[in-house]
Structure 1
Amino acid sequence: MLKLKTFGLIILSFCFTNLNAQNQLEYTIDSILKTYDTNHQPGLAISVINKNEVLYSKGFGIANLDYAIKNTDSTIFSLASISKQFTAAAIWALIEEGKLSLDDNLHQFFPDFPEYGKSIKIKHLLNHTSGIRNYHTLMYLSGFDYDRDYYDNQTVLSLANRQKNLNHISGEKVSYSNTNYNILALIIEQLSGQNLNDYLKSKILLPLGMTNTFVRVSHGKVIKNRAIGYQNQDDNYIYSISNQLSYGAGSMGSNAKNMIIWIHMLNENIPEFKDLATFLKTTEILTTGKKASYARGLMVDDYKGHTTYSHSGFGFGGQTQLITVPEEGIGIIILTNLQSINPTPISYRILDLLINSKELENTISDRAIDFKSQNLDQFTGDYKEVNSDMTMQISEENDTLKAQGSMGNNKISLQQNDTNKFVRRNAQNVKYNFEKTPQYDMEISFGGTPFYFKRAKLVTSNPENLIQFSGKYYSEELDTTYHLFIENYTLKLSYTNNENIKLYPVQLNEFGNKDRTLYHFTTGTDGTIKGMLLSCDGQVSNIEFTKDQTQY
């Protein structure tokens, strides 16, 4: 009897310890989110799973400022780019039905697509290695007015059809482009005979019990308990009046409670959908021999010794973040309705609380160094993002490598964790890889999303013959004319819905707008300016512009 009582006390002590630890975790998460617990501004909803159990699920801030309705874990938010996982799930369903193959190419569905469509396969669309230009960037460069002009998936397809080239060879590298997933939505609808919302509901959402998750495929429908997405402008909150109707890459709605089900599926806790989880988390081998960091609607990364699967989202009025660690039964979903709230660093702060405490103690600085120390000078210098004017200076101070981007205010300390590889000291999900390839000299990864940089010979002053860059330039791919002119010895640009944009020198015959757009001027054999190649956001490469030679 004494032994039985002792055993009972041990069990009670164990349960009390676990309960106390859980209460402490909840208290700490409350502290992290305290700033969003208000009655006068938009906020967020969050659900956290630990060891496959719901640890935390709450709403913060206001869903609708007109009526002072609070956010809860039942409030419907825009999923933004997390939607891509669901589009990929619909592709899986079509493959299961025998209607589609990962190796089918674009010409099988769109015979009028440019010739290079024959090299683009379904698997390239799923993992963003197709090389197709991002339509949001193309629309921005053409002067599209999001508040006034209408667009849908057919608009996106038509814009893609007009592009003469890809950003890179299909399968070569991950280059994030929303166009991939809008095209996938069109393929799903073509093969299923249903719109994406109806097909997803029948094959994925309703079988999972996700009754409050949907694709917005039409205007005018009532969405109960919906959070309005806001921007903060001049101390006022405004919401979007855009009438766009594109989907596949975004335009889905759900709530934190429903997304708990999705996380359980990704963590392979729903037997009927284990094959789907495996499909979404599978990565391809690139033509370079490297493994892609993007799977199928999910970014794959290593964080403090754990494999993570994640995706963020960004749109007018909100940001989103989903991250899972299946091996630990961890999942975090954060949905916001205020664009300035960045949920990604919040998710990693919470993740640090959940992953094994031994791993937390085993920080980079404490790890056994299993690589040879390197001379940091070999990494220092100026770099420029491929297909962008954003620059990065890598310097050394007190035996520490530091990085400062042209869009950042401070130098960020890096710490080496492998040969030619570094991470940010205070954000280990941000990685710097200096292994050179023919295409780039440095790759910066944010939770698995890659950005590519090449060494640069930067210039800071305008050339003496600045006038030669002025004139009219026309792009058939964008169906847009750019007017470049000189004002106060500054090169400026105007085009549809954009006036008097200042341009700054970057490299020889290159200018930028300090917002990730690069204007590279091309010359003839006589050295005169003949045209321009326009690149932007790292997602659009070398759009051709021809200079009007008749004006001189």
Structure 2
Amino acid sequence: MRNTKLVTTVFCCLICAYLSAQNKYTSKINELLEKYESADAPGLSVNVISGKESIYAKGFGLANLDYNIKNSDTTIFSLASIAKQFTASAIWVLVQEGKIQLEDDIRKYLPEFPVYEEPIKIRHLLNHTSGIRNYHALMALYGFDYDQTYYDNNTVFALACKQKGLSHLPGEKVAYSNTNYTLLALIIERVSGQNLNEFLKVNILNPLKMHATFVRVANGKTIKNKAVGYQKRNNGFVHDSSNQLSYGAGSMGSSVQDMAIWMQMLNEQILEFKPLAQFLKTTEVLNTGEKAKYARGIMIDTYKGYTVAGHSGYAFGGRSQLITISKKEIGIVVLTNLQSINAPEIVYQILDILLADEETSEAIHSTDVNFEPAKLDAFTGDYKEINSDMTIQIFVEKDTLKSEGSIGRRATSLLQFADNKFHRKNSPQVKYDFTPASTHDMIILFGGTPFYFKRAVLIDSETVNNNDFVGSYFSEELDVTYHFFVENDVLKLSYTNNKNIHLHPVQLDEFGNNRRTLYRFTRDKENHIIGMLLYSEGTIKDIFFEKKAVTN
């Protein structure tokens, strides 16, 4: 009897301790998110897990402004790019069944695809090391009208097949491209004979009891309890009217309640799917010998001494962020239906709340590296993103290294945490790596996604004769003509569905549009402009435009 009472007492104490901790987290998370509680604006839903329990699940704001429907933990949101890990999980199933291999050349399943210098393998698609150009950027570059024109995976595949070059050799580096996961979806469907939604339902989603999760493989289907995605515009909100139907890289729906199950799986708490979690979190060694941080639909990084696995998503009308720490058996997911809500920032703020009372010093010190305090002047200067017009100025102010970007709003302070490595003072997940390399001078990692930069010699607009670049230029790969002209002493660009784009000088014979697109003009031996090479988003390079002869 005494033993029974003792066990009961201990059990009650444990329950009380758990509830006390849960209430403490609830109060702090509520305080963090209370600004999103609204009766007339879109918002978000959140789920936080610890072990096999959800310790916080709540919706804020409205799922539908027309009908005043509130967001909840069962509301269906767009997952955006979090969908990639589900596509990768379908590849895992096919590998387990012996129907494909990661070392297979993708042309085994997609024979229409171009032959490049080196074969692209399935594993290159999974970890974004294929070098294949991002179709969203390509479509923007030829003036695709998202509001009026339909496209699907076949459209994307046809566009990919027209491309004559890659951004880099397969396996050389990580360069994020949605085209990779569209191609994976096509491979899955050709091999399995099922569409991606059917395949995932049978092999992944139904066994996990994630019944609210799906891939949108057709338009017009009614989706109950779905949040409408909104953008802020003119003191109000507008929703997406696009009819696109490309999936594999996105176009999935789920609730934070379902995603709690997925986070438990990623934390290797569901025995049947532990091999899947390990597959998704497996990183590979690049051709350079460096280990990639992007695994298979999952980014692997460190935060406050812990290894974290996660992914973000960004689309019209919403953002998403998922993060897990297997060692702590915790996970956080935030899904929004308002594009301006910063889901990644919210997730890391919640993670800070969960880790606030932890004795993290031991975990942090276990990964410490002995380094000499940097001579900060060695890192200062102007940098330009490779295959983009985005520039970053690194400078020293009051003995602190700072970074200010051409697209950013203000300078941010950097703190050193290892040799040649810094992170943002207020965002430790954003890291700057100045480790010497032959292909780049700096990498900026946003939660594990790398952006590559080289030192730049920026030029003053006063030294540039804009009239040298006036003319019409045609690209066979994009089937579009670009018209460059001067207006009010500014070089401007117009092409299909894009008018009067202001350009600014970057380096010699280079101009940018301040949206990660670079126009590099080429000259002949007599120094005449004869063409233009187009670069964009870090994943597109060397798209050639020939200058048209002037006819009278």
* 2:230/2:238 contact within 8 Å kept: yes
Match of 1:460 in 2: 460
Task: Indicate conservation of the 8 Å contact 1:142/1:496, yes or no.
Answer: yes
What SS does the aligned partner of 2:206 have?
helix
Using the TM superposition, give the Cα deviation of residue 8 of structure 1 relative to its aligned residue in structure 2, in angstroms: 7.3
Listed as ranges, the matches of 1:405-444 within 5 Å are: 405-444=405-444
Partner SS, residue 357 of structure 1: coil
Contact 2:62–2:71 under 8 Å retained in 1:
yes
2:150 aligned with 1:153: no
Give 1:14 shift: 5.3
User: Are the counterparts in 1 of residues 212 and 255 from structure 2 also a CA contact under 8 Å?
Assistant: yes
| Most deviating of 38-47 and 112-121 | 112-121
Equivalent residues of 2:520, 2:532 under 8 A apart: yes
Letter in 1 for 2:510: E
2:503 corresponds in structure 1 to: 503
Cα 1:521/1:343, change in 2 over 3 Å: same
Q: For 1:398-428, what per-residue CA distance to the aligned partner results, in whole angstroms no more than 9, with x for missing partners?
A: 2211111111222111110000000111111
Correspondences of 1:324-335 after superposition (within 5 Å): 324-335=324-335
Aligned residue number for residue 109 of structure 2: 109
State the partner residue of 2:310: 310
Query: Which residue in 2 is equivalent to 1:377?
Result: 377
Give the C-alpha shift of residue 308 in structure 1. Answer: 0.4
TM-score (norm 2): 0.96
Map 1:149-548; keep pairs closer than 5 Å: 149-355=149-355, 357-360=357-360, 370-548=370-548
Once residues 397 and 366 of structure 1 are traced to their aligned partners in structure 2, the CA distance between those partners, rounded to angstroms, is 31
Contact 2:501 2:513 (C-alpha < 8 Å) held by counterparts: yes
Q: Which residue number in structure 1 is paired with residue 100 of structure 2?
A: 100
**1:511: how far off?**
0.5
Q: Deviations over 1:322-358 (max 9, x none)?
A: 0000110010111100011111011001111223734
3-state secondary structure, aligned to 2:378: helix
Q: Deviations over 1:223-262 (max 9, x none)?
A: 0011000111101211111111110000011111111111
> Aligned in 2, Cα 1:157/1:4: closer, same or farther, shift over 3 Å?
closer
1:367-418 Cα offsets, whole Å, 9 max, x none, are 9772112211000011011111111010111221111111122211111000
Distance 1:332 1:353, change over 3 A: same
- The aligned residue for residue 89 of structure 1 is 89
Note the alpha carbon deviations across 1:418-465, whole angstroms, 9 max, x for none. Answer: 000001111110100001222210000011011111100011214453
Contact 2:62–2:70 (Cα < 8 Å) also in 1: yes
- Residue ranges of structure 1 left out of the alignment (5+ in a row): none
Helix, strand or coil at the partner of 2:308: strand
Percent of matched pairs sharing the same residue: 57
Cα 1:513–1:125 shift into 2, 3 Å:
same
Deviations along 1:451-505, one digit per CA (max 9) or x if unpaired, are: 1111000112144532110101011111100000111111110000000111101
**Contact conserved, 2:412 with 2:424, CA < 8 A, in 1?**
yes
| Whole-angstrom distance in 1 between the partners of 2:464 and 2:454 | 26
Aligned-partner SS, 2:125 = helix
Change (3 A) 1:304 1:29: same
One-letter amino acid matched to 1:121: K
User: Residues of 2 paired with 1:92 and 1:223: CA distance?
Assistant: 28
AA matched with 1:340: S
User: 1:78 maps to which residue?
Assistant: 78
Amino acid across the alignment from 1:421? K
Pairwise CA RMSD: 2.0
On the 8 A contact 2:306/2:363 being kept in 1, the answer is no
Q: Tell me the distance in 2 between the aligned counterparts of 1:451 and 1:41.
A: 34
Which residues of structure 2 form unaligned runs of 5+? Answer: none
SS class of match (2:116): helix
Summarize the Cα distance change of 1:106–1:373 in structure 2 as closer, same or farther, 3 Å threshold. same
Question: 152-161 or 102-111, which moves further after superposition?
Answer: 102-111
C-alpha distance 422-258 of structure 1, shift in aligned 2 (>3 A): same
Q: Secondary structure at the match of 1:347?
A: helix
Distance 1:444 1:359, change over 3 A: farther
Distance 1:72 1:15 in 2: 26
Pair 491,435 (structure 1): closer, same or farther in 2 beyond 3 Å: same
Q: Is the 8 A contact 1:105 1:118 kept in 2?
A: no
1:241-290 Cα offsets, whole Å, 9 max, x none, are: 11111100000111111111111111111111111111101011100001
The alpha carbon displacement at 1:550 in A equals 3.9
How far apart, CA to CA, are the structure 2 residues paired with 1:367 and 1:223?
46
The 1-side partners of 2:491 and 2:385 are apart by 22
**In 1, Cα distance between equivalents of 2:273 and 2:19:** 31
1: CA distance, partners of 2:115 / 2:135: 19
Deviating more after overlay: 458-467 vs 55-64: 458-467
What is the alpha-carbon distance in structure 1 between the residues aligned to residue 508 and residue 488 of structure 2? 21
Question: Match of 1:334, as an amino acid?
Answer: V
1:113-152 pair list within 5 angstroms? 113-116=113-116, 119-152=119-152
For residues 454 and 165 of structure 1, the distance between their equivalents in structure 2, rounded to whole angstroms, comes to 21
Quick one: distance in 1 between partners of 2:122 and 2:515?
Answer: 32
User: C-alpha distance in 2, partners of 1:57/1:397?
Assistant: 43
Q: TM-score, normalised by structure 1?
A: 0.96
The 1:407–1:69 alpha-carbon spacing in structure 2 relative to 1, beyond 3 Å, is same
Cα separation, 1, equivalents of 2:364 and 2:283: 26
Q: How much does 1:70 deviate?
A: 0.4
CA contact 2:305–2:365 (8 Å) conserved in 1: no
Structure 1 residues 530, 35: CA separation in 2 closer, same or farther (over 3 Å shift)? same
Deviates further, 104-113 or 292-301 = 104-113
SS at match of 1:526: coil
Distance 1:203 1:381, change over 3 A: same
Does the CA-based 8 Å contact 2:416-2:423 persist in structure 1? Answer: yes
Question: 1:124 and 1:160 mapped to 2: Cα distance?
Answer: 15
